[in-house]
Amino acid sequence: MFKHIIEENLDIRLLELRHAEQLYDLVSRNEEHLAEWLPWVKGNKIENTKGFIEAALQKFVNNDGIDCGIFYHDRIVGVIALHRLDWLNKKTSVGYWLDGSLQGKGIMTKACEAMINYSFHDLQLNRIEIRAGVNNLKSRAIPERLGFEKEGIVRQAEWVNDRYIHHVVYGLLKEDWGQ
């Protein structure tokens, strides 16, 4: 299975069904922090987590995306994904979330950097997009830190917790990635 070592005690791995309980527990512990920005968090059940992992594995088998757990000291602490691989246009989008207690330690920036390198070098893609809620400043800081260009705002892009949220769209081209 897919595994990429970022540094000692930090790696990303393809999610597998054996991770379901640990992932479910992580989401449950972070429900308040995650539910502000992610529509699927409230009411999440272990069956939903297992279904998500099964769908993610099928997506990987179909060469249509990759969903990875972020592992820190061998414990799952978040998720990072290439949502859809558009092979015709050589592009994808990256999504991510992290345990609230570990934010601000550079973990997500390093995981995104690894996924960007994988996308541009191994998959030979040309464009990566990241979208984040306009007011989700922590999530927006990642693409800004990594040199993505702010390309615009998509109004009422997502229904989360009985309200629409606007998304900021960031884009990065392979030619602009200096690594």
Q: What backbone torsions phi and psi does residue 110 show, to the nearest 5 degrees?
A: -65, -40
* Spans of all domains in the chain: 3-176
The token duo for 51 is: 């279904």
Could you tell me if 134 and 150 are in contact, meaning their C-beta atoms sit under 8 angstroms apart?
A: no
Third-level CATH fold of 3-176:
Aminopeptidase (3.40.630)
Q: pTM to 2 decimals?
A: 0.93
Report the pLDDT value the prediction gives residue 33, as an integer from 0 to 100.
Answer: 87
Report the pLDDT value the prediction gives residue 44, as an integer from 0 to 100.
Answer: 85
Report the pLDDT value the prediction gives residue 5, as an integer from 0 to 100.
Answer: 94
Tens of pLDDT, residue by residue over 125-144, are 999 999 999 999 999 999 99
> What percentage of the chain reaches a pLDDT higher than 70?
99
Dist. CA 76–CA 16, nearest whole Å: 12
List alpha helices for the chain, DSSP H.
Answer: 20-29, 31-35, 46-61, 107-117, 137-145
Tens of pLDDT, residue by residue over 2-37, are 889 999 999 999 999 999 999 999 999 999 889 888
